[in-house]
Amino acid sequence: MVGMSGAYGGHSNGGESRAPKAAVVVGAPPPEMEMEMAGAMGVVHKVAAQPAQSTASKMKGKVKETFFPDDPFRSFKGQPLRAQWVMAARYLFPVLEWLPGYSLSLFKSDLVAGLTIASLAIPQGISYAKLANLPPIIGLYSSFVPPLVYAVLGSSRDLAVGPVSIASLIMGSMLRQAVSPSAEPMLFLQLAFTSTFFAGLVQASLGILRLGFIIDFLSKATLVGFMAGAAIIVSLQQLKALLGIVHFTTQMGIVPVMASVFQHTNESIRWPRFFWISACAPLASVIVSTLLVFLFKAQNHGISIIGSLKCGLNRPSWDKLLFDPTYLGLTMKTGLVTGIISLTEGVAVGRTFASLKDYQVDGNKEMMAIGLMNIVGSCTSCYVTTGAFSRSAVNHNAGCKTAMSNVVMALTVMVTLLFLMPLFVYTPNVVLGAIIIAAVIGLIDLPAAYNIWKMDKMDFLVCLCAFAGVIFISVQEGLAIAVGISIFRVLMQITRPRMMIQGNIKGTDIYRNLHQYKEAQRVPGFLILTVEAPINFANTNYLNERTKRWIEDESSSGNKQTELRVVILDLSAVPAIDTSGIAFLIDLKKSTEKHGLELVLVNPTGEVMEKIQRANDAHDHFRPDCLYLTTGEAIASLSGFAKMATP
């Protein structure tokens, strides 16, 4: 470049003079821009490389940031050994954090909250077990042992644990594809326990291995659409109980469900006289409807009832876990899907209520707690459980203070299992169906869907695909479609990164996107490009084609005053680069030189600068006069030397 032997006083890094290069005439900037440049020419800052680190240190840092971004053991530093053991015990068993300081006033609040959520958990447990095609007693078992485990291992004060509708629906529908719950009830029960075991294993593994970021692929848009579609499917499935249809479809799509309703109109469809009672609180509905059925002998007039339930606590079920190769694939697949869905719901609910009370919930500890809870549950006659939103909302509003509310709920369920089971003999199934509908309707979040539509149309498409997939195909296929679209969108953002042309904001040394800032002006003779993404093998071809197209467009303008002479690539927003990215920069440098242009790089970040230096060790591709700290300094320096060299 004429009149410029370097950006640092005309010398190379070693301080030796270099012969000037062939002249490069850059068009003169506007007068007000020249003033800014003239002031900046006096000082040109050097682009510094990050401090040297060994490969082991770099790997250690990357592993720490990937798997331990919260640095959970930072409080251990500088503590005596005894204190570290105490802190480790509290970390593994969060109950030790609040139990030593537990007081009577806290217990009063937790007692009220525990009894309140028990009144909801008992009817919901029975209902959700039927939704999963399991015996009703399994739902109550699942509201007894898992809450006790979570109270010891969980870090949320508000999460109320038990069966949930979506996981129940998915487990029932997936297992029913291979085994009929009515023809082979014991085999179906074994598969349910085994699926729960694998669900817990997946959940605990994600927490122990610090892989919680995997569940982040279930975006908010995916969950909103999925939950809404599942809520409608769950509600439609309850038409069997509400209408008294005996021969009902086992498929989950809206078309076969509605076809089943209209094809069996010849069956005895009886609307119970006291259907309005289901609008009341779930437990009140169960009590009143059970009493009415008993008094009026409604079971003799076409009203389906639960039937006899045995008293007693959970029976061990580890001997019922079935690892037969015939069904192993099915149970692992069911466990994976239900585990991820229930884990996502539980962690999201826990964080939601934690933010309301301004305390932190450790996502990885929650995964371990929920996973171990389900592993223990699978060995004690329980199926998949997690933190339910409806139950947790009741727990929060009832004034819970600690996880002791889960213990109170579990003890209440225990009393029910020991002494009150005969009272549920006459509970009508229609009320259980109404309870499920009342619980899942709240999962249809129209305001959230509207906000997604306003915020991001692509996100809304993901939401819509999840909803339509669940409604018209099946729950698991709908979820897979939505996740696939979300991953495809992420891949598109990686392979087609945002790249833009920048201009100078008049009267300043600030350079911004020309399309975003209308007051930004092009700098004659300069093409200022910026990339806002990592540069890697997945996007180098796109960046190369995009850059060359812009250069061709600028070069073909034909205006001598604004003829392109310098291409500036701003790397401020490029956090990382790989070998393909370095190869792209080298090829771009050679290509611009062939066309008589100069390529300079602005503000490469630490990792990018380090790899540029390594590339320079073999071949001096990027000399110091090609590297600038800011776009303003680059333009000021290049324009000044160009003007000095112009006759």
What digits encode the pLDDT tens for the residues 451-483?
A: 989 998 888 888 888 888 888 887 778 878 878
Residue 271 has pLDDT above 90, yes or no: no
pLDDT of residue 17: 36
Highest mean pLDDT among 65-74, 103-112, 115-124, 290-299: 103-112
Rounded CA-CA distance 601/586 in Å is 11
Torsion sign (Cα): 385, 389, 394, 397: positive
Tokens read off for 561: 């005053």
Pairing of strands 499-505, 526-531: antiparallel
Burial 350-389 (b: 16+ CB within 10 A, else e): bbbbbeeeeeebbbbbbbbbbbbbbbbbbbbbbbbbbbbb
Residue that wins the pLDDT comparison between 70 and 524: 524
Highest mean pLDDT among 58-67, 118-127, 319-328, 604-613: 319-328
Domain boundaries, given as residue ranges, for the chain: 10-50+497-645, 73-101, 103-491
Which amino acid is located at 138 in the chain?
I
Supply the pLDDT for residue 239.
65
CA distance linking residue 135 with residue 496, whole number of Å: 52
| Of the candidates 300, 370, 394, 303, the residue with the CA atom closest to the CA atom of residue 152 | 370
pLDDT at 402: 92
Q: Please provide the average confidence, as pLDDT, over all residues in the chain.
A: 80
Degrees (nearest 5) of the Cα angle 190, 193, 195? 105
pLDDT at residue 204 greater than cutoff 80: yes
Binning pLDDT at 50, 70 and 90, where does residue 328 land? very high
Cβ-contact 370, 343 below 8 angstroms = yes
Length in residues, the chain: 647
The pLDDT score that the predictor gives to residue 22 is 38
**Cβ pair 132, 383 in contact under 8 A:** yes
Q: Are 371 and 172 in contact (CB under 8 A)?
A: no
Share of residues in the chain with pLDDT > 90 (%)? 28
Of 362-371, 586-595, 623-632, 636-645, which gets the smallest average pLDDT? 636-645
- Give CA–CA dist 173/249, Å, rounded: 11
Q: 258 pLDDT band (50/70/90 cuts)?
A: low
pLDDT of 628 strictly over 70: yes
* Highest averaged pLDDT of the listed ranges 184-198, 390-404, 430-444, 604-618: 184-198
Question: Which among 574, 491, 578 has a CA at the least distance from the CA of 537?
Answer: 578
Q: What is the DSSP letter of 158?
A: S
User: What is the third-level CATH fold of 10-50+497-645?
Assistant: Transcription Regulator spoIIAA (3.30.750)
- Is 130 within 8 Å of 168 (Cβ atoms)? no
Instruction: Convert the pLDDT of each residue in 599-615 to its tens digit.
Output: 999 999 888 998 888 88
- Residue 203: pLDDT over 90: yes
Residue 165 pLDDT exceeds 80: yes
Residue 320 has a CB neighbour count (10 Å cut-off) of 18
User: What's residue 551's pLDDT?
Assistant: 87
What's the token pair of residue 59? 């790997």
Cα separation of the two ends of the chain: 15
Looking at residue 323, its pLDDT comes to: 93
Q: To the nearest whole percent, how much of the chain has pLDDT over 70?
A: 81
Residue 122, burial from CB neighbour count under 10 angstroms (0-12, 13-18, 19+): buried
> Given this model, what pLDDT does residue 243 score?
58
Confidence at 647, pLDDT banded by 50, 70, 90 = very low
601 SS3 class: strand
Cα 131 to the chain's mean position, in Å? 27
pLDDT of residue 268: 44
Q: Is the pLDDT of residue 60 over 60?
A: yes
**HSE, side-chain direction, 13 A CA sphere, residue 532:** 8
**Mean pLDDT computed over 580-595:** 91
pLDDT category of residue 569 using cuts at 50, 70 and 90? very high
State the pLDDT at residue 26: 46
CA distance 144 to 112: 18
Average pLDDT of 68-92? Answer: 80
DSSP letters for 393-421: HHHHHTT--STHHHHHHHHHHHHIIIIIG
Note the pLDDT of residue 645. 38
